[in-house]
Structure 1
Amino acid sequence: MTTAHELQLSTDADTAALWWAYRDRDLRRLSGTADALRAVLDADPSLAVAHAAAVVEAMFADAPFDVEAELAAARRGNAAQDWERSFVECVLTTASQGMWPARPSWERHHDWFPEDLYGLELVIFLTLMSTDPDAQDAALARALRTQEAVGEHVVLLGFRAMMAQDRHRLDEAEGLASRALALDPSGFLGGHPMAHVYFEAGDHASGAAWLDGWFPGTDQHADFGSHLVWHSALHHLALGNHEIALDRYLHCARRAGPGGLVDGTSMLWRCQMHGLVGPGADPAETPVAQVVAPVVDRVPFTFVGVHVALGLATASDADGLRRFAANAAGFTAPGSAELLPGLARALASYVEGDHAVASDLLLAEEPHFLRYGGSHAQREVVEDTLIQALLRAGRLDEAATRLTARLDRRESPLDTALLARTARPTRPPGPRAGEGGAAGPLRPRPDAGSGRLPR
């Protein structure tokens, strides 16, 4: 069978329809992807690419598939198409050699078959998590090549919107996100970059209100939804709605996957820095320091390692941070040995109250923050930590310089209050860089505060 992207599948039409339904759910980050893939395997147990996909789901998403059994089935399965054979070979290489040694295989697969959105998704993930200085440019180039092959697609619109907002091209990001939402009104691929646009514009009241109105119409069982709750928490933290921000944190902390390991750790650390909870305190039923514990010694990529360090910091575990710094020097994930030890040592000094040393160590890391991976909104927690360390060390001019630069880019009640502590005048209101006029790139939204997202 042939899809709109002209990729043929080595199976009957009914099974092919099940495969593309599974791929649609996976690409749109919806719930039920494992069940949808199992339906494909039940319909045609000989389809090699489906067994390879089961391996990917197990390795990258902890789906309940037997990796060894699926690898064996992929090897002996039916793969009559060139793209299928290439995809299966990439998965076999990943399983046998590891994620990072397999990266060149995934890059070749995308070079040969740019129309394969599954392959694009994986190569972009590896590119963005590689800590390469040009990772964002390389990932965007691959997405644009796929766009040439397949035309307009909500996956590509959403990704391009994310890349635009991270570079503070907010008008472009809002346009791309709006188009993605027009194609898929309840879809995370448009909603996620739109949430980032509100954050980067500093329009926190409108962003919180928009999420309150949009989120209930999304897939409430999808794991990715907890990340949008995290976005709501960021807005409410900035607005001073501390009770709501803490409720949103508790929602993120009790969710599996990135909701706890990434979003929970960074949000709790923010709450501690801004005094919503005390140092070392965690109101979650399962403290995030326990959530990160299983990966302390086996960080798969630097971005996770950053959040492991933050998780240890939330418990004021200076000894654990120093052990993590020592161990990270031997990690094999790209950039980990270079980037994680200094950050971990800085956080150890911070939780011990030695903010002068923490400031020096974080200043040495500052040129490399972009390489940590993730979005600017996710990396900003490290910028926040540096600013807090500088303030507490009495290095007010250095803190003020960074706060002024952020306020030049966007409004922030939090940053304005922090800047006042440095005795430097606050920035007068007006358009920020990347905004489309005094009102910014977004339409006005109603005031926030209803708290209709999960609590």
Structure 2
Amino acid sequence: MDRTRVGPSPRLVADGGLRVEDRFGLELSTSSAEARDAYVEAIDRMLAADGHVEDCLAAAIAADPSFALAHAAEARQHQLNVRIPQARAAVETAIALSEAATAREQQHVEIINRLVSGKVPQGLDLIRQHVDDYPRDAFALSPACGVFGAIGFSGRIGREAELLAFLEPLATHYGDDWWFATVHAFALIETGRWDRGRELAERSLRQRPTNPHGAHTLIHALFEAGDDSEAVDFLDGWLPASDRASVLHCHIWWHYALALLAIGRDDAALQAVRHNCLPGATTSPPITVFSDSSSFLWRFELAGNPRERTTWDRVREFYEEHFAQPIVFVDAHVGLVYAALGDTEQLQASISVLQELGATGRLPAETTGATLARAYGAFVDEQWSTVVEVLEPLIPQVVRIGGSRAQRDLMTNTLLAAYVRSGRIDEARAFCERVVDRRPTRPVAGFELC
């Protein structure tokens, strides 16, 4: 079979000697056309970040309970939603059933197994090996992609260029596929090639207009270009018909809120977050709910607005309920909560834990989270010189925490605000000219670039 073939494969069934294939032309070990169709729909929904994935996977498993890849996909879906016991149970079922499947499917299941088991570096190693043989196994490739993927959360400074270098040789195998266009575009945008990334994102949206990953990628391209008004206009048209069950529901509304802040519509931005991002307002994964809520509230204050203490309390309760163990991107935000609430004791306790774990090599970003928490504490205490001394040398290292360039502007703008509030506006401008490789579009009260 030619793996470079692009587009949906024929919906073949097992009778008449024909094999069952997925949308990418890869063989599936099921004799059920119904199971195949439901599985393909589920995978496309996961690749697009659409909602209602569980319904499709349940239909696939009901049609063929022995279909290993459907159970593996169910495990991944549970993992993405931080339902770890369910994820482990599903992947154990997939492993047992894969003994009767193809070698490709067995290795696909093992990739999911390593990820669910927390063996992310080993999972990435197997993904690299797997796509050498099966470059169009999109669902096996997908966990390596994006800022929250296996490369994105590696803690390596050069992870953005690493991801782009990993994806570019695969482009020939996918042609104009809408999903690959989104992940390729995002990698381009994060390495500064936002113009080309925008072209690919727009192509993806032409093929699948409701695709949340495509919309999200386009918003990042507009952010990099400083086109906040265009981002608001696009989302004004796209969001009303979007699926609230999407895993990106909260995050895309967060982007909308930041774009509103950037054009001076602060009250509308706060309302967008209240109704779509805060705990209880969305079914998006906890890591997104916490990081987006806390970072928006901090940015809202940087823009000159009063502290939303009751809302900060709500975010704190959510954090303490959902995150018993350190998680690298979450760790970079926890200091915001305790600093904003003036809980010095809990802030120092968090710093101590993150410092110890980071110093002993048990966190991918090492001690970056602890250092950020110190800076946030100093900021709330109005120790502006300390904030500058801590954050300025850290900015080139912040990429290690994961997240996108847009998300990491939180740290840059905190530094700029400390410069401004200490009367060092010329130094803030000099920092931007020296370090920031695009015009920052997130507002900091009292600061404008000349």
* TM-score normalised by the chain length of structure 1: 0.84
Summarize the Cα distance change of 1:295–1:62 in structure 2 as closer, same or farther, 3 Å threshold.
closer
Evaluate the alpha carbon distance shift between residue 318 and residue 112 of structure 1 in structure 2; reply closer, same or farther with a 3 A threshold: farther
Q: Which runs of 5+ in 1 are unaligned?
A: 420-425, 428-455
- Determine the C-alpha separation between the residues in 1 that align with 2:29 and 2:424: 64
1:39 aligned residue: 59
Q: Which residue of 2 aligns with 1:209?
A: 233
Q: How does 1:419-438 map to 2 (within 5 A)?
A: 419=448, 426-427=449-450
Match of 1:57 in 2: 77
1:265-284 alignment, distance < 5 Å:
265-278=294-307, 281-284=308-311
> Mapping of 1:17-166 within 5 angstroms?
17-62=37-82, 66-78=86-98, 79-96=100-117, 98-124=119-145, 125-166=149-190
Contact 1:296–1:308, Cα closer than 8 Å, also in 2: no
1:364 partner letter:
P
Superposed CA deviations along residues 27-81 of structure 1, whole A, max 9, x for unmatched, are: 1111111121111111111122222222222222235973453233223214421
- Decide whether the 8 Å contact of 1:165 with 1:197 is kept in 2: yes
The AA in structure 2 aligned to 1:2 is E
Opposite residue 215 of structure 2, the aligned amino acid is G
Give 1:403 deviation, angstroms. 4.2
Whether the aligned pair in 2 keeps the contact of 1:266 and 1:311 (CA below 8 Å) is: no
Q: Quick one: distance in 2 between partners of 1:314 and 1:385? A: 13
Q: Distance in 2 between matches of 1:415 and 1:316?
A: 22
Residue equivalent to 2:8: none
Q: 2:225, 2:394 → 1: CA distance?
A: 26
Assess, with a 3 A threshold, how the Cα gap between structure 1 residues 394 and 411 changes in structure 2: closer, same or farther.
closer
Higher alpha-carbon deviation: 106-115 or 336-345: 106-115
| Structure 1 residues 163-182: aligned runs within 5 Å | 163-182=187-206
Match for residue 331 of structure 2 among 284, 288, 305 = 305
**What code does the residue aligned with 1:340 have?**
G
**How far is the alpha carbon of 1:355 from its aligned partner?**
1.7
Superposed CA deviations along residues 333-369 of structure 1, whole A, max 9, x for unmatched, are 5433331121111112112222211211112311202
Q: Whole-Å Cα distance in 2 between the matches of residues 82 and 355 of structure 1?
A: 58
Cα gap change, 1:75 to 1:192, in 2 (>3 Å): closer
- Bigger relative contact order (CA 8 A; separation at least 6): 1
Q: Does 1:222 align with 2:246?
A: yes
User: 2:368, 2:437 → 1: CA distance?
Assistant: 28
Matched, 1:252 2:290: no
SS state of the match for residue 135, structure 2? coil
CA distance, structure 2, for counterparts of residue 67 and residue 230 of structure 1: 28
CA–CA distance in structure 1, aligned partners of residues 69 and 410 of structure 2: 40
Residue by residue over 1:256-302, the C-alpha shift from the partner in whole angstroms, topping out at 9 and shown as x without a partner, is 42442121111001112223222xx33539622222224555123x2
Task: Identify the residue that residue 183 of structure 1 maps to in structure 2.
Answer: 207
Change (3 A) 1:305 1:220: same
- Aligned partner of residue 192 in structure 1, secondary structure: helix
Amino acid at match of 1:24: D
- Aligned mates of 1:169, 1:416 — CA distance in 2: 29
Deviation at 1:141, TM superposition (A): 2.7
For residues 119-163 of structure 1, give each alpha carbon's deviation from its aligned partner in whole angstroms, at most 9, with x where no partner exists: 111122101111212212222233223322232211221122222
Q: 1:10 corresponds to which residue?
A: 29
Preserved contact between residue 41 and residue 47 of structure 1 (Cα < 8 Å): yes
Q: Are the structure 2 counterparts of residues 111 and 123 from structure 1 closer, same or farther at C-alpha, using a change threshold of 3 Å?
A: farther
Amino acid at match of 2:320: A
Unaligned runs of 5+ in 2: 1-19
1:377 corresponds to which of 406, 411, 429: 406
Paired residues, what number?
418
| Correspondence list, 1:342-421, <5 A | 342-404=371-433, 409-410=438-439, 412=441, 414=443, 417-419=446-448
What amino acid sits opposite 1:42 in the alignment? A
Contact 1:11–1:44 (CA under 8 A) maintained in structure 2: yes
Q: CA deviation at 1:97?
A: 5.5
CA contact (8 A) 1:106 1:123 kept: yes
Say if 2:314 is the partner of 1:293: no
Superposition CA RMSD, Å: 2.6
- Residues 42, 65 of structure 1: alpha-carbon distance in 2 compared, 3 angstrom cutoff: farther
For residues 258 and 364 of structure 2, the distance between their equivalents in structure 1, rounded to whole angstroms, comes to 28
Contact in 2 for aligned 1:317/1:351 (Cα 8 Å): no
One-letter code of the match for 2:345?
Answer: D
Identity rate of aligned residues, in percent?
A: 27
Give SS of 1:414's match. coil
1:322 counterpart residue number = 348
CA distance in 1, matches of 2:330, 2:264: 28
- Taking the aligned partners of 1:162 and 1:306, their CA distance within structure 2 comes to 22
Residues 26 and 137 in structure 2, CA contact (< 8 A), matched pair in contact too:
yes
Q: Which deviates more from structure 2 when the two are superposed, residues 187-196 or residues 289-298?
A: 289-298
Which string of whole-angstrom CA distances, capped at 9 and with x for unpartnered residues, describes residues 346-404 of structure 1? Answer: 11211222221121111231120222221111110110011112222333332121345
Any idea what SS the aligned residue of 1:275 has? coil
Letter matched to residue 70 of structure 2:
A
